[in-house]
A and B are shown apart, each in its own frame.
Chain A
Amino acid sequence: MDTLKVRDAKDVEEVVRAAIANEQPLEIIGHGSKRSIGHAMATNAVLDVSALNAVTSYEPNELIVTLQAGAPLADVLSLIDAKNQQFAFEPMNTAPLLGTSVSGTIGGMIAAGLAGPRRIRAGGARDHLLGAHAVSGFGDSFKTGGKVVKNVTGYDLCKLLAGSWGTLSVMTEVTLKVMPKPEAERTLLLRGLDDAAANKAMTAALGSPFDVSGAAHLPKSAFRAKTEGLGDIVSQGEALTMLRLEGITASAAHRAASLRELLAPFGTPALIEDAASAALWAAIRDVLPFASGGALGAWPVWRIVCPPASGAALGTQLAHETGGDVIYDWGGGLIWAALPPKSDAHAPSVRRCADAVGGHATLIRAAEEVRRDVDVFHPQAPGVAALSERVRASFDPKSVLNRGRLTRGPAA
């Protein structure tokens, strides 16, 4: 294993150009916190951007921060938190789920694009990436976007970089939108709903004018007697439906009261506030019930995105077929599924259930031998897959960047 720790964009260009000349693909890493997501890459050369870790500029009044791609996510979150700001899309910390010691870099956050509960209201990483400097698979540095929120100058290549898992370009510097942290948060808790009723309650809440910024459901589960991070809120595996309201204090309290009335047909919700609420949503964001150190730590975990009102039907069916456990976020539009260990991680069931409602599923946690035989990323319709491949090749024709990570194929 040869690891090249680049110091600037010129280094990245040089390494990529040599990789092209030598037909030697590169694995692109920051801290490597999400290396276990995707297929094993056909390479033993590593391009490490973790030394590109500077904060280029942070302008709280402009609501933007410009960072080198290797800047540690945790440090950046502290930096903007000190100015009472945040990334509104609530980037997931994958460390507990994947059992890594670090939470990764800004580049990894964007390349994975794993947004948390507030995605339903604030969008994902793709909606907050305003501009980027990157090195393509041609070995050339290019820029796209800018440092302002409102910009339609040229194609929005930022959208492609977000969620590309390092297969299009090596990002070197990015500009992200930051948003003020809400003054207060309130969460309403409904207990004992089955998945279908919970899905209806979340749909009602999200269809209300009360500006719900989180809608999640933990079904009744035999596996969840103890989950770190959820404390006393989840006891004895009882089902819990949670709805979050954020904003200035008077408004959050007012909307919580209004939403409580709206939810009366589903029961009488309990209320938690601020720090207790924040801890709960962090646990949902990071999928702590399926943490690698927990009771289901050895089980494969899927992330399924689907039309939100179809969530309960999909999740119930999948749990029933496989004997697994599911968690709903995004009002039902995101399902985390931990399924009992099996050589194919129940892929046929997962993909059939997802396809039935127009959703898609990604195998986020699984042993390497499972990932060898199962498509980690959801197979696409042939025309879309062909277009995606042409798009990939337009950035990296020799496929030197993270070759083989997204699609299963013959090793190169």
Chain B
Amino acid sequence: MAIMMPASDQAVLARRSEIVAALRAIVPGEGVIDSAAEMRAYESDGLTAYRQPPMVVVLPDTTEQVSLVLKYCAEHGIKVVPRGSGTSLSGGALPLEDGVLLGLGKFKRIREIDFDNRVVVTEPGVTNLAISQAVAHAGFYYAPDPSSQIACSIGGNVAENSGGVHCLKYGMTTNNVLGCEIVLMSGEILRIGGKSAENSGYDLMGVITGSEGLLGVITEITVRILQKPETARALMVGFAEVEAAGECVARIIGAGIIPGGMEMMDKPAIHAAEAFVHAGYPLDVEALLIIELDGPKIEVDELITRVETIANGCGSTTCQISTSEAERNLFWAGRKAAFPAVGRISPDYLCMDGTIPRGALPKALARIRELSEKYQLGCANVFHAGDGNLHPLILYDANKPGEIERAEAFGADILRACVEFGGVLTGEHGVGIEKRDLMGDMFSEIDLNQQQRLKCAFDAQGLLNPGKVFPTLHRCAELGRMHVHAGKLAFPDIPRF
């Protein structure tokens, strides 16, 4: 394992049977799993290159149980890793050898649907898609739609601030959640926000969202729901040059059009997808854009025409416009199956997740091609082009010695390039363990210390999901120390009034 996790606490491991018994007293019956065979299901998440069985798995089904488990662990200095459906692509739910894995899978109930206030109050183990399904009869849906939406839990979505194909227009998780019930590491149960548009006081919901399970364990969430757009149509546009496709994206945005989704695939991705789903993708183009417009029919028809004109002006070589739902779904089928499609042409692949300014797209693709040469590994690219979120898929074979290391080095270079081009390390998959050691490429020690101080405000002992997000762990007392400079109030240069 290339990533070092915090050293295991041997004293805790020595007390394992005592800890298991104590947890059984809190969560009876099947809720505590300690056999090696049964715990295997929990040893990794969507980042399958990393595996580690936990010390014990606990599956509580009430907030009170979560509170008692955390309180017990806090009092005994035991680390805790929270887990939703285990679909994280960054290793956010990777267990620790000496840690309790706290699964929220039993929190499966939607507690309230309130159409008048346009919110759903739900437990965290409910899947993203199940929320949309629960309100579909009234024409509503929950907008963020990560590709894993059939499986991923809403609690995990909040922890990771998940995005999706439609977040260009409808926002990420953080723009669509209003409140939560959260249990701190101390066991304290708090309610943040609710059905109102804004919290009172500091926006704690805002910082809990995307905190990757390091600040607290969420046991209830209030999300906003929206009315489904009346209709949606898509264009599938091919280009002979990646640059032209990038220019097309920029011009669409520049014309004031915010599509519901705007996706790009490069040639290797197009070929892999076409071979897999036969969506009718053109095979002789270097880049393919799928652009979806949604809203009232009259608006969609008008915007389709405008986008087609822009695409022609950028030298598109093919342009198909969906005329039915079946055709629109077919356009998407290849894109949505891009990851498994790539899985068919390569024994293994690594999915990266950097974001760059839209304008840097051609530059970033050129760099990825150079790196592909350098590392002698193939790469298929799919992007959320509208918001500059890249998903290069690095192809490798784990059975060939040295390939995974080369693939990881290739991926790290891509993410460093994203930062160099004015972007960031991760757009929607999270830092987790995967990008943890690259945080120093984007943030200074001062920046990271400020983030870790915030962690201290929620979890002063650092017991919740340690080893994720931050490359170096500091004690809270050390972070809080103030270096008082000589007490002079001179400022000879600063203008006074």
User: Do A and B originate from a single complex?
Assistant: yes
Encode B194-210 as 1/0 by CB contact (under 8 A) with A.
Answer: 11111111111111011
User: Is there an interface contact between A157 and B357, defined as CB atoms closer than 8 Å?
Assistant: no
How many angstroms between the C-alpha atoms of A366 and B440 in the bound complex? Answer: 47
B356 engages A148 (CB within 8 Å): yes
Instruction: Give Cα A204 to B209, complex, Å.
Output: 30
Which residues of chain B in 418-467 are interfacial with respect to chain A, using CB atoms and an 8 Å cutoff? 422-431, 435, 439, 442-444, 446-451, 453-458
Task: Assess the A387–B303 pair: CB atoms within 8 A.
Answer: no
Contacts of B456 in A (CB 8 A): 390, 394
Q: Is the CB of A394 within 8 A of B359?
A: no
Majority DSSP secondary structure for residues of A touching B: mixed
A183 touches B422 (CB 8 A): no
**Nearest-neighbor residue (CB-CB) of B357 within chain A:** A62
Pair A142/B447 contact, Cβ less than 8 Å: yes
Bound CA span A133–B204, Å: 20
If over half of B's interface residues share one DSSP class (helix, strand or loop), that class is named, otherwise mixed; here it is loop
Smallest Cβ distance from A98 to chain B, in angstroms? 20
Find the B residue at minimum CB distance from A211: B295
A141 adjacent to B446 (CB under 8 Å):
yes
A35 close to B (CB within 8 Å):
no
Check A123–B256 contact: CB distance below 8 A: no
Judged by a CB distance under 8 angstroms, whether A74 is at the interface is no
Tell me if A68 counts as interface (CB < 8 A to partner B).
no
The answer to whether A207 and B116 have CB atoms under 8 Å apart is yes
Taking a contact as CB atoms closer than 8 A, the residue among B139, B172, B480 that contacts A150 in the complex is B172
Q: Which of A147-203 contact B (CB under 8 A)?
A: 147-160, 162-164, 168, 179-181, 183, 203
**Contact between A307 and B210, CB atoms less than 8 A apart:** no
A377 and B199 CA atoms in complex are apart in Å by: 11
A164 to B204, CA, bound (A): 11
Task: Point out the residues of chain A lying under 8 angstroms from B295, CB to CB.
Answer: 211, 247, 251
In the bound assembly, the distance between CA atoms of A360 and B194 in angstroms comes to 11
How far apart are the CA atoms of A272 and B194 in the complex, in Å? 35
Please determine whether B227 and A208 come into contact, CB atoms closer than 8 angstroms: yes
Kindly state whether residue B488 has any CB partner on chain A within 8 Å: yes
List CB contacts (< 8 Å) of A50-87 with chain B: 51, 59-64, 84
Residue A381 interfacial (CB < 8 Å)? yes
| B309 CB, nearest partner CB in chain A, Å | 14
B364: chain A residues at CB < 8 Å are: none
In-complex Cβ contact of A381 among B191, B431, B484, B490 (8 A): B191
* Stretch from A2-10, A229-237, A289-297, A320-328 contacting the other chain: A2-10
A107 an interface residue at 8 Å Cβ cutoff?
no
A209 part of interface (Cβ distance < 8 Å): yes
Cα A94 to Cα B497 in complex, Å, equals 25
Cβ-defined contact, B482 with A152, below 8 A: no
Judged by a CB distance under 8 angstroms, whether A411 is at the interface is: no
Q: Which of A16-24, A273-281, A339-347 contacts B (4 or more CB under 8 A)?
A: A16-24
Give the contact stretch, choosing among B58-66, B236-244, B384-392.
B384-392
Given contacts A148-B423, A309-B114, list 6 more A-B pairs with CB under 8 A.
A4-B495, A48-B497, A150-B172, A250-B302, A309-B116, A377-B200
State whether the Cβ of A393 lies closer than 8 Å to any Cβ in chain B: yes
Q: Which residues of B contact A381 (CB under 8 A)?
A: 190-191
A335–B268 alpha-carbon span in the complex (Å): 55
Number of A-B contacts (CB under 8 A): 302
Point out the residues of chain B lying under 8 angstroms from A146, CB to CB: 355, 422-424, 442
Q: Which residues of B contact A113 (CB under 8 A)?
A: 198
B222 nearest CB neighbor, chain A only: A307
**Chain B 467-486 near chain A by CB (<8 Å), digits 1 or 0:** 00100000000001011111
CB distance from B391 to the nearest CB of A (A): 11
Which chain B residues border A150 with CB–CB below 8 Å? Answer: 163, 167, 172, 355, 384, 387-389, 427-428
Q: Does B494 contact A15, Cβ atoms closer than 8 Å?
A: yes
Interface centre among B116, B190, B253, B451, by most A CB within 10 Å?
A: B116
CB-CB under 8 A from A391, the residues of chain B are 202, 204, 207, 454, 457
Task: Kindly state whether residue A359 has any CB partner on chain B within 8 Å.
Answer: yes
Q: Does any Cβ of B come within 8 Å of A238's Cβ?
A: no
Query: Which B residues lie within 8 Å of A261 (CB)?
Result: none
Report which of A140, A157, A384 forms a contact with B451, defined as CB distance below 8 A: A157
Chain B residues, Cβ within 8 Å of A179: 258
- Give the residue of B303, B454, B491 whose beta carbon is less than 8 angstroms from that of A248: B303
Bound-state CA distance A59–B184 (Å) is 41
Q: Which A residues are in CB contact (< 8 Å) with B258?
A: 179-180
CB of B175 within 8 A of chain A? Answer: yes
A306 with B450: CB separation less than 8 A: no
Which residues on B sit within 8 Å (CB–CB) of A64?
357
Are A151 and B355 in contact (CB-based, < 8 A)?
yes
4 smallest CB-CB distances across A and B, nearest first, come from A159-B206, A180-B256, A251-B299, A21-B487
Q: Which residues of A contact B205 (CB under 8 A)?
A: 159
Could you tell me if A306 and B254 are in contact, using CB atoms closer than 8 angstroms?
no
Given A154-B443, A394-B457, check contact A207 B206 (CB 8 Å): no
Query: Is A330 located at the chain interface by the 8 A CB criterion?
Result: yes
Please pick, from B114, B163, B458, B493, the residue contacting A387 in the complex, using a CB distance under 8 A: B458
Chain A CB within 8 A of B171 CB: yes
Question: Of all chain A residues, which has the CB nearest B460?
Answer: A390
B residues engaging A (CB < 8 A)? 114-119, 139, 160-161, 163, 167-168, 171-172, 174-175, 184, 188-192, 194-207, 209-211, 227-230, 250, 253-254, 256-258, 295-296, 298-299, 302-303, 355-359, 384, 387-389, 422-431, 435, 439, 442-444, 446-451, 453-458, 469, 480, 482-491, 493-497
Interface flags for A119-149 (1: CB within 8 Å of B; 0: not) read 1100110110000000010111111101111
Taken together as a complex, chains A and B put the C-alpha atoms of A153 and B442 apart, in Å, by 9
How far does the Cβ of B302 sit from chain A's closest Cβ, in whole Å? 6
Residue contact A384 to B446, C-beta cutoff 8 Å: no
Q: Of A18, A144, A156, A208, which one neighbours B161 at CB under 8 angstroms?
A: A156
Chain A residues in 8 Å Cβ range of B487:
18, 21-22
Task: Verify B387–A148 contact, CB threshold 8 A.
Answer: yes
Check: A32 CB closer than 8 A to any chain B CB: no
Decide: A11 and B494 in contact? CB cutoff 8 A: yes
Chain A nearest CB, measured from B220 CB (Å) = 14
Q: How far is the CA of A411 from the CA of B92 in the complex (A)?
A: 45
Query: Does A383 belong to the interface (CB within 8 Å)?
Result: yes
Within 8 Å by CB of A155, from B210, B228, B302, lies B210
A377: which of B201, B426, B450 is its contact (CB, 8 Å)? B201
Complex Cα–Cα for A202 and B387 (A): 32
Closest chain-A Cβ to B353's Cβ sits at a distance in Å of: 9
Q: Kindly state whether residue A380 has any CB partner on chain B within 8 Å.
A: yes
For residue A358, CB closer than 8 A to chain B, the reply is: yes
> Could you tell me the distance in whole angstroms from the C-beta of A107 to the nearest C-beta in chain B?
17
Question: In whole angstroms, what is the CA distance A3 to B456 when docked?
Answer: 34
Complex Cα gap A247–B487 (Å): 57
Known: A248-B299, A358-B196. A393 touches B457 (CB 8 A): yes
Chain B residues within 8 Å of A159, by CB: 174, 203, 205-207, 209
A307 to B115, CA, bound (A): 12
- Are the CB atoms of B491 and A14 closer together than 8 Å? yes
Q: How long is the Cα–Cα vector from A394 to B458 in the complex, in angstroms?
A: 10
Nearest CB in chain A to that of B190: its residue: A383
Name the residue among A7, A153, A391 with the largest chain B CB count within 10 angstroms. Answer: A153
Q: Given A59-B359, A143-B443, A154–B431 Cβ distance below 8 Å?
A: yes
- CB-contact partner of B227 in A14, A20, A209, A397, under 8 A: A209
Q: How far does the alpha carbon of A143 sit from the alpha carbon of B430 in the complex, in Å? A: 18
Q: Is the CB of B207 within 8 A of A390?
A: no
Q: Do the beta carbons of A384 and B358 come within 8 Å of each other?
A: no
Contact B230 A143 (CB under 8 A): no
What residues on B are CB-neighbors of A7 within 8 Å? Answer: 494-495
For A254, the chain B residues whose CB sits under 8 A away are: 296, 298-299
Assembled-state Cα–Cα distance A181/B255 (Å):
10
Output the least CB separation between A259 and chain B (Å): 11
Q: Which residues of chain B are near A310, meaning CB under 8 Å? A: 117
Query: Are A207 and B227 in contact, with the CB atoms below 8 A?
Result: yes
Q: A251–B423 Cα gap in the complex (Å)?
A: 35
Contact, CB under 8 Å: B387 / A378: no
B365 to chain A, nearest CB (A): 17
The answer on a CB contact under 8 Å between B388 and A4 is no
The chain B residue with its CB closest to the CB of A8 is B494
